[in-house]
Chains A and B, each alone.
Chain A
């Protein structure tokens, strides 16, 4: 199972960038880093994933360190609707949905 370490909570001002760190030192060579978030007990929402290169999509950017043992999720302009629990995990190949979620980071975006 994936073992990740994330800060339990973070705050961010609306309109500012939110940088959420994650340590995943047990990641294997063929495993991708995945980020999901969950709002008010809704279903987890996929944000972004990557193998070793930095990735960007319409929601966020993902920065993965060269040794792949940690990553940072960047929400470039946080809004109040980005308040959620953010989960970082890793999974390999076609087992991409066998996700192990830890406690995640509770991100609170303030006006």
Chain B
């Protein structure tokens, strides 16, 4: 069964350092999402791509976060500099289109110390 791949699974980083997460969506899925989930809350959308274009990044803290999907396939989410409040699970998801259900990767659990 096709899966969304994410790496790393776990990341511990010091405050003010840079950190990057990678996501490879299910083959053929044009829509890619990055979500952040804090324990006890639902996932919150950070950025949404349609192919290589950003269609929604209204909730992305652009002073420190950036995301790209250069060839419309895999994607990278970067945080620089990391802050203590960035500790969370970062989830990547993909779907065939924006109107259908999305499938999630296993996530990257980030701890900022």
**A, B from the same assembly:** no
